[in-house]
Structure 1
Amino acid sequence: MALNWFRFAAPSAFYPLAGRAIPIFWWLTVIPLVIGLVWGFFMTPDQLGGTNAQKEYYRIIFIHVPTAWMSMWLYVVMAGWAAVGLVFKTRLSFMMANAIAPTGAVFTFLALWTGAFWGRPSWGTYWDWDPRLTAELILFFLYIGYIALHSAIDDTRRADRAAALLAIVGLVMVPVIFWSVNCPDPNQCAALHQRSDLTRMEGNILFSMLTITFAFWMYSFATTLMRLRSLILERESAAGASWVETTLGKEGAS
C-alpha cells in the first residue's frame, strides 16, 4: 500500500512524525560533529598554504566554512517553504519557514563571528567592507528582518504573507554571496577571501569540513522540527483544534 505523503501537510499528522524524527536527528548531529572536530583538530596539517602559510589558527575554517554554507542554504530552504505557503496556502509551509529562520540567523552570526577571528591573524583586520563580508552581513539582517516583521504583525496570516515576501525578495543575496566568493576577476571584486575550490583541498581537511557540514544539517533539522512542533501547538491551540488537547494528554501520560 502506497504511503500518502500529502497527509503530512496537515499539522495534526506532521506533529507526531516530527516528534519521532527529532531524536534521530540529534544523534546524527552529535556523532558526526565529534568525528569532524576530532579529525579536523588532530588529523590535519599544522599549517595551511605554502609561502604565506596560515598556522594553527586556520582550523577555524572547520566551523567558519560550514556555518557560511549553512547560512545560505537555510535561507534558500526558508524562502522555498515561504513560496510554497504563498502559492498553495498551506499553513505548515509558513510554519516551516518561520521555524527555520532562527537557526539560519544563528549560523549566519557564527559565520561572521568566526570569520572575524580568522581574519585578524590572517589579514590583520577583524572586518573589511569587501563584497563577501558585506553580503553575509546583509543576509544576517534579512534573517533578523524576517523574524522581526513576522513578530510585529498580530494577525498570523498577514504576518506569514508579509514575511514570506521579504524572504523571497531577499533570495537575491544568495547568488551575490556566491559570486563574491567565486568572482572570476580579482580586480573587479577584490576581497579578503580566496576563491573556494574543494578539488584542491587537502583530503583530511575536506573530510572534516564535509562531516561537520553534515552535522550542522542534522542540527538544523532537529532544531527546526522542535521549533515547528511548538508553533503547531501554539497556532492549533489558538484555532481551537481538538486534537491538541488529546495529543498533549497522551504525551503527558507517556
Structure 2
Amino acid sequence: MNNSQNRWAWLHRLGSPQTFYALSGRLLPWLAGAAAVALGVGLVWGLAFAPPDYQQGNSFRIIYIHVPAAMLAQSCYVMLALAGAVGLVWKIKVADIALQCAAPIGAWMTALALVTGAIWGKPTWGSWWVWDARLTSMLILLFLYFGLIALGQAISNRDSAAKACAVLAIVGVINIPIIKYSVQWWNTLHQGATFSLTEKPAMPAEMWLPLLFTVFGFYCFFGAVLLLRMRLELLKREARSRWAVAQVQRCLGAEASR
C-alpha cells in the first residue's frame, strides 16, 4: 500500500492547487510566446506564400486552420477523458478544473473545424454539408462538449458535477476513434489524413511545413488559454486559502505600483 502511494505521490504534488498555480505561471509566458510565433509564421507562410494545390487551387489553404482545429478538438476531448479518470480515481480537484476549463475551448475548436470544413466542402464537394461519417461524428463531438458544459453548470454540488462530467467524458471518448477511422471504415466523401507522423507527407515541404507550424501553434495556444482559465478558476475555488489570498494581494499590489 505504501509503495503504491509513493508511486503516485508526484501526481498528488502536481495536483496541489498551490503547486499547479506556481508551475502554470512559469509555463504560461513560454506557451503564449510559442503560440504567437508559430501561428504567425505558419499562417502567413501557408495563406500567402505556399503554392496552390494542383487540384484544389487556392481553396486548399483552409487546411491551415481546419486541420489544426480538428486535431485539437479531438485531442482536447481525450484530455478531458484522462482528466475525468484522474479525478475519479485519485480525487484530484485540479483534474476537475482542467475538465471544466478545457471543455469550452474544445467546443470552440470543434465548431471552427466544422465551419472551416463547410467552407472547404462547398467548392470541393459542391455542398456546405453532407451527412458524411467524418462530419457527422465531428458534429456528435460538438454535442458531447455542449453536454459536458451544460452538465457541469446544471449540478450545483461541485463534487457531484465533477463525477457526472468525468463519467460522460470517459464514455464519450469512444467517439474519437470513430472520427479518426471513419474514412477507412466507411465509404465517405472526406479525404484521408493530410499528413501522418509515421508516413512520408504526400505534399511538398513548402505546403506541409507551414501546416506543421500552425498545428504546433494551435496546441500552444490551447495550452496558454487553458492555463489562464484554470488559474482563474483555482483562485475562485481556493479564495479562502492563504496562498490564494496572497496571490490576489500580490497581483493587486503589482497593479497599484504601475
**How big is the shift at 1:128?**
0.3
Amino acid at match of 2:13: R
Percent identical across equivalent pairs?
39
Question: Is the contact between residue 12 and residue 92 of structure 2 (CA under 8 Å) also seen in structure 1?
Answer: no
Amino acid at match of 2:192: R
**How big is the shift at 1:245?**
1.3
**Which residue does the alignment assign to 2:41?**
35
CA distance in 2, matches of 1:63, 1:197: 13
Gaps of 5+ in 1: none
CA distance in 1, matches of 2:68, 2:27: 23
Structure 1 residue runs of 4 or more that deviate by more than 3 Å after TM superposition: none
**How big is the shift at 1:42?**
3.0
**Which digits, 9 at most, give the CA deviation of each residue in 1:63-95, with x for residues without a partner?**
111111111111101111111110101111111
Amino acid at match of 1:193: H
**How big is the shift at 1:8?**
2.8
CA distance in 2, matches of 1:192, 1:154: 43
CA distance in 2, matches of 1:22, 1:152: 31
**Which residue does the alignment assign to 2:125?**
123
**Which residue does the alignment assign to 2:18?**
12
Which one of 84, 91, 94 corresponds to residue 93 of structure 2? Answer: 91
Amino acid at match of 2:245: E
Amino acid at match of 1:158: S
Gaps of 5+ in 2: 1-9, 196-200
Counting matched residue pairs gives: 240
Which one of 64, 71, 74 corresponds to residue 72 of structure 1? Answer: 74
Residue 207 in structure 1 maps to residue 203 in structure 2: no
**Which residue does the alignment assign to 1:193?**
190
Amino acid at match of 2:83: W
**How big is the shift at 1:176?**
0.2
**How big is the shift at 1:242?**
2.6
CA distance in 2, matches of 1:197, 1:31: 23
**Which residue does the alignment assign to 1:152?**
154
SS, match of residue 104 in structure 2: helix
**How big is the shift at 1:5?**
7.0
CA distance in 1, matches of 2:24, 2:112: 26
**How big is the shift at 1:243?**
2.1
**Which digits, 9 at most, give the CA deviation of each residue in 1:6-28, with x for residues without a partner?**
52321022112222322221111
CA distance in 1, matches of 2:49, 2:246: 51
CA distance in 1, matches of 2:97, 2:82: 12
Question: Is the contact between residue 17 and residue 94 of structure 2 (CA under 8 Å) also seen in structure 1?
Answer: yes
Within a 5 Å distance, the mapping from 1:220-239 to structure 2 comes to 220-237=222-239
**Which residue does the alignment assign to 1:61?**
63
**How big is the shift at 1:197?**
4.9
SS, match of residue 26 in structure 1: helix
**Which residue does the alignment assign to 2:28?**
22
**Which residue does the alignment assign to 2:250?**
250
Most deviating of 113-122 and 93-102:
93-102
SS, match of residue 238 in structure 2: helix
SS, match of residue 144 in structure 1: helix
**How big is the shift at 1:208?**
1.1
**Which digits, 9 at most, give the CA deviation of each residue in 1:189-222, with x for residues without a partner?**
2222112252212212211111101000100110
Across the aligned residues of Structure 1 and Structure 2, the Cα RMSD in angstroms comes to 1.4
**Which residue does the alignment assign to 2:198?**
none
Question: Is the contact between residue 76 and residue 106 of structure 2 (CA under 8 Å) also seen in structure 1?
Answer: yes
TM-score using structure 2 length: 0.89
CA distance in 2, matches of 1:230, 1:175: 33
TM-score using structure 1 length: 0.90
